[in-house]
Structure 1
Amino acid sequence: MVTCPASALVLNPDELGPDPVPGLNLAVKLGIGHLEIRSAEGANALMLPDDRLRHIRTLADERGLKVAALASPLWKWCHPEARPGRVDTFGFPTQVPPDQRLGWVERAFEAATILGAPVVRVFSHLRVEPELTEGFAGDPLLAKALNMAERAGVRLLLENEPVCTVAHAEPLLEVLGRYHGQGLGLWLDVANLHELGQATPEVIRALAPYVGYLHVKDYHVGADGGRVFCPAGTGCVPYGEVLPLLHAACPVLPYALETHVRDTPAEALTAGAAFLRTSLPGGLR
């Protein structure tokens, strides 16, 4: 199994806009050698034609950058008759008929192969009307996708996303315990876990054996009670407590910056990279 190198920082170029070049150049400027690809040129990566994916790969290769992960929207979907709320899928449809889903899984593996991405993110079905919400554990497509991933030489990692069915620690541990032996790992978003009140040392220790990738974003609570995103290390997410625990359990993790800071993304990414480099024992590349 190909893996991202230990203690690596990862940058997502689409944080700076649809043109990937500014993000790639910022990665070089910050000494970040790995990329997460989610969208580019105004389209979700899964919906880009092969030649555009190859173009992104060439842009990365020219700068000495490697793609650490394909941040796909797989399983961030529901039946066409369901009515999801506001969901950010970066240009990918949320209402996907079941007979079209295998095709998207196959496309994700094709895209990952073109980009050279060793891991592919998945979600766990959108939470919609109770009678239409689908279960992730036991989904036959998941078992098929895990077998396909093994043949393709990539790994599926499940993100804990609050709008999806598997976000709290208890169902996460249940699903990961069931499928970890088949290759499923955890794409851990600590801020999402904190939003649910579960970014505690006990939960982090329980989830740590499954973590294969870490999303790092931060926020503080606004006057209206909503989240206001800010550079990593300046908000309310307890990274000072969480990062040493994760590093002790998993010293070979990639740390991917996901700021969601819209007005000054380059500055937020720069600050986040500096924060992570000074916060982890041994630092980061």
Structure 2
Amino acid sequence: MLTPLLVLNPDELGQDPAVGMDLAAALDIGDLELRTAWDRNLLLADDDQLDSLRGAATARGLRVAALAAPLWKWCLPEAKPGRVDSFGFPTQVARADRKRWVDRALEVAGILGAPRVRVFSHLRVGDLTEAFADDPLLPYALECAQRAGIRLLLENEPVCTMAKPDGLLDVLGRHSALGLWLDLGNLHEVGHATVDTVAQLAPFTEYVHVKDWRAHSEGTLEFCPAGRGEVPYGELLTVLDELRPGLPYGLETHVKGDPADALREGAEFLRTRASSTC
């Protein structure tokens, strides 16, 4: 089995990106997933800040593997979303404003040197929920991304419209220029983290989020280091390793107490697992 390509998001450790970058270097993780820094979503950062961020990464020998953008994690201004973590970006966005955010995300990715940009699939907001696969902005975004040499990747997000296999397979089949940003923890949360499902999704998968959690009886999730929770990574990663070897695995913890230790443990889990299956 190939040694996994690990990716670390510095904002798991706070809003000073240097802290997370230093940890990535210490863990011999050469790739970064960027989302926020200095208390702002990177789509809201100015070009000088983005240049500085990329320079700090380059100085440590790190590359930017992905921009974890909030595109399509939104609804109409008249809709009322529930509790949503959009990482400092508005959840209510008028249709007239959305094109410029797509354009800006691609600009940001270009400045950072990120070859992948995450998208979502509209927030679920009852009768005002919008259809992602038929959104006229999607073909525009995919065409612009192709011209820029950037891949748009759809994350399966429980609060959005595309979280279960049927919907994901439908939209990915209809838009060949769209790839999958597969979050295995999210897949488990919606009850579809099975070997068969991952095998179906594998041909479209280009990036993987790895996070773990334990569910409590009242329905809350307690996040923990990868490999110590309920997500059946042994089975799911084995399928991905067989069908899509060499995928980048983005470590995502959401662990509040000691995220640095959780990231260390998660990296060790993935590497030990890889070496034990060789």
TM-score range, shorter chain: over 0.9
Q: Which residue of structure 2 lines up, in the alignment, with residue 20 of structure 1?
A: 17
Q: Does 1:253 align with 2:257?
A: no
1:263 to 257, 266, 270: 257
1:93 to 90, 94, 98: 90
Equivalent residue letter for 2:76: H
Q: Give yes or no for contact 2:4–2:271 (8 Å, CA) kept in 1.
A: no
Q: Does 1:160 align with 2:156?
A: yes
Aligned residue pairs total 277
Identity %: 60
Q: Give yes or no for contact 1:6–1:254 (8 Å, CA) kept in 2.
A: no
Instruction: Give CA-to-partner distance per residue, 1:138-180, whole Å, 9 cap, x none.
Output: 1110000000000111000000000000110000000011112
Q: Give, in angstroms, the shift of residue 224 of structure 1.
A: 2.4
Which whole-Å CA distance do the structure 2 matches of 1:57 and 1:167 have between them?
32
Q: Does 1:225 align with 2:219?
A: yes
Q: Which residue of structure 1 lines up, in the alignment, with residue 204 of structure 2?
A: 210
- What does residue range 82-231 of structure 1 map to in structure 2 within 5 Å? 82-130=79-127, 132-180=128-176, 183-231=177-225
Which whole-Å CA distance do the structure 1 matches of 2:125 and 2:276 have between them?
43
Q: Give yes or no for contact 1:79–1:96 (8 Å, CA) kept in 2.
A: yes
Q: Give yes or no for contact 1:244–1:280 (8 Å, CA) kept in 2.
A: no
Equivalent residue letter for 2:173: G
> What TM-score comes out, normalization by structure 2 length?
0.97
> What TM-score comes out, normalization by structure 1 length?
0.95
Which whole-Å CA distance do the structure 1 matches of 2:275 and 2:91 have between them?
40
Q: Give yes or no for contact 1:277–1:283 (8 Å, CA) kept in 2.
A: no
**RMSD (Å) for aligned C-alpha atoms:** 1.5
Q: Give, in angstroms, the shift of residue 6 of structure 1.
A: 8.2
Equivalent residue letter for 1:168: K
Equivalent residue letter for 2:267: A
Q: Give yes or no for contact 1:247–1:280 (8 Å, CA) kept in 2.
A: no
Equivalent residue letter for 2:81: P
Which whole-Å CA distance do the structure 1 matches of 2:123 and 2:7 have between them?
27
Q: Give yes or no for contact 1:7–1:283 (8 Å, CA) kept in 2.
A: no
Runs of 4+ in structure 1 over 2 Å off: 222-225, 280-284
Listed as ranges, the gaps of 5+ residues in structure 1 are none
Instruction: Give CA-to-partner distance per residue, 1:103-154, whole Å, 9 cap, x none.
Output: 0000000000000000000000000022x10000111100000000001110
